[in-house]
Structures are given as C-alpha cells and as structure tokens.
Amino acid sequence: MNDKKKIRIAVVGCGRISKNHFGSIQQLDQEFDLIAVCDTDLDTLKEHSERYNVPGYSSLDSLLEKENVDLVTLCTPSGVHGQQAIKAAKHGVHVITEKPMATKWEDGLAMARACEQAGVKLFVVKQNRKNSTLQMLKRAVSEGRFGKIHMVHLNVFWTRPQEYYDRAEWSGTWDMDGGAFMNQATHYVDLLHWLIGPVEKIHAFTSTHRQIEVEDTGVVNIKWRNGGIGSMAVTMCTYPKNLEGSITILGEKGTVRIGGVAVNEIQEWNFEDERDYDVEVANANYQTTSVYGFGHPPYFQNVADVLNGKAKPETDGREGLKSLELLIAIYRSARDGVEVGLPLNI
C-alpha cells in the first residue's frame, strides 16, 4: 500500500466495543475509508449500515466475496476471532482483532500462522499501552530507572452485574467469551510481560459468583525470569461500581503506583535519579468515564502507518500471543491446582 490511498476498512461486529473502532475510523478519515459493516443481528446491522451509509452484510463470507476491502476489524465475540481472521487472510485481507485475540491457545496460533502464510498483517488491539500514564511507566522501565524490580502487583476491582452477562447467549461462556482475566482484565494481563518481561511461572486460583460458566474473580502469583515476583487480583463483583485498576512496581531504585479506575492516575512516582520528563507526571493523569481509555485512535494510527510502510506494528499477532499464553497458563493453573511454567508446552 502507499500513503496516497485510503485504507478500505470494514467493521465486523457492531456491538459494545465497535463504537471505539467507528470513532477511530472517523477521527482518522484521512487514513481510512469505511466501506462496509457486518453483523449477524439484522436490526443492529440495519442501524449501522444506515448510520454510516455503507453496505451491510450478515456474514463475513459475503462481505469478503463482494467488497474490495484492505482491512477488517473484528469486534465480534472472542471465540470466533480465529476463524474470522483465517477467512480474511485467505482473501488477502489484513486483520485487526479486539481482545482477546482468541479464547483458545491453538486458535491464536492458527490465526497468527494463517496471516503470516498469506502475507497479511494481524494486529491485536492493546489500546491501553497508548495511555499517557502507561507510556511514562514504560519509558521508566525501558530506561532501567527501577534498577532490579523486586515486586509487582496489579488490582482490577470492577463490577459487572448479572445483567451484563445476560445481554447475549455467548457472554460469560468459556468457548466464546472467557472470564474476568481473559475478557475484562486482559489489558492488565498484557502489562505483565509488556512492562516487566517474560514470565517464568504462575499459580492461580479463580472463583465464580455470577450465574456464568467462567470466573468473575481470581488471584495469580507470578515469578518473572528476571527474578521479580508479584501478584494480580481481579474481580468483577465490586460493590457498587468500578473501584480500581492499578499497577504498583517496587524496585531497588524506584517506586511507582498508577491507579484510578483504569490506570489513569499516577499516584506515586519516586526514583533515585531525576529525568526531565518527571515534571510531566501530573499532565499524564486524565479523567475517564470508561475503562477503555483513549488509546484506540493512536492504535489505529499505528495500523495505518504500518500498512503505508511508515512504521512497524506495535502489537502484531506474535505479540498478541504473549498475552494469550499467560491467560491460558492462568486458566490451566486454576483448573488443575498446579504451578504452570512458561512457555507453554503444547
């Protein structure tokens, strides 16, 4: 592709998260041209087709056969991401997939391989990485300001009432959705390897309090290959509303805590050394009414830059597999009551 041609994109799945994708496409209208939408719910499909004045398709197969599309973005239930990505790859179409990239390890591997073999790009949405607070934290870690990292702890204390899970038959199921770790807290699981590094082993426990198949509460202990240890506590049963999404890093030369409802407030920022960007800590904080943050537009900008040959992908299929591997390890540990080492042996 070249920078003189808009990227012809179709949105597949017009549910809860799709508004962030539609909004990003509209905001980056010099980069993207929305040419079609797809949804199996005919009323939802009609609504979005009319709203954006583009053709609507009730099946991805029909869309791929009839439209000259460069890129599809998958906002569908997680359990179908794998098969949909593989279909797009076979048509020579690039793929953006929402989190998690798949609910099964083998599906994640298959979609990554299919895209590689077809010579198309696979992008896994990790929009929280683009949030200003986490960008500052990533910089501090990359520059070695913590020295040796001793301990890391993450909390995700949110609420998802029974009505949230009752909105669709697939919601709260193992096959199509995944639980609190895989779905709601998946971006926090991503921080375990993106910020700290490869994980050596984990030990997890989960429990379920809503009327669903999957877990809505869990804890996991983690040991990293660099010697650091830590933990993560997740629940969707906080009363009466979302309380906290946080990460705390304790190192030999630094201590940082980023909290708020969705890692949007730098609450502690102390290092042995000083850097010029330390004065920007207050400016990095932001208010949010959504746990999604504001990272989708800059994520879509990276996608455009990659397809136009201007940048490398920030989170491609192989990068996405790192989070999926951790998620599957957490579930295997909780299911079998054992410590699970990484990488997975399948």
Tell me what pLDDT residue 290 has. 60
Q: What is d(CA 19, CA 164) in angstroms, rounded to the nearest whole number?
A: 17
- What's the confidence (pLDDT) of residue 52? 98
* CA–CA distance, 97 with 78 (Å, rounded to integer): 9
> How high is the pLDDT of residue 291?
61
Please answer whether residues 108 and 314 qualify as being in contact, where contact means their C-beta atoms are separated by less than 8 angstroms: no
CATH classification of 128-264+324-341, choosing from 3.30.360.10, 3.30.750.24, 1.10.10.10, 3.40.50.720? Answer: 3.30.360.10
Instruction: Say how far apart CA 40 and CA 131 lie, in whole Å.
Output: 32
Give pLDDT, residue 2: 46
Query: What residues form DSSP beta bridges with 56?
Result: 37
Q: Where are the domains of the chain?
A: 7-127+296-316, 128-264+324-341
Q: Which CATH number fits domain 7-127+296-316: 3.30.70.890, 3.40.50.300, 3.40.50.720, 3.30.450.70?
A: 3.40.50.720
Of 68, 58, 65, 56, whose CA–CA distance to 8 is shortest?
A: 68
Dist. CA 346–CA 331, nearest whole Å: 15
Q: Residue 184 gets which letter from DSSP? A: I
**Can you give the pTM of this predicted structure?**
0.94
pLDDT value for 31:
98
Chunk the chain into consecutive blocks of 10 residues (it has 346) and report each block's average pLDDT, rounded to whole numbers. 78 96 97 98 98 98 98 98 98 97 97 98 95 96 98 98 96 97 97 98 98 98 98 98 97 98 96 96 82 81 97 96 98 98 84
Instruction: Check if the beta carbon of residue 304 is closer than 8 Å to that of residue 32.
Output: yes
Beta partners for residue 244, in sequence order = 157
3-state helix, strand, coil in the chain (%, to 5): 40, 25, 40
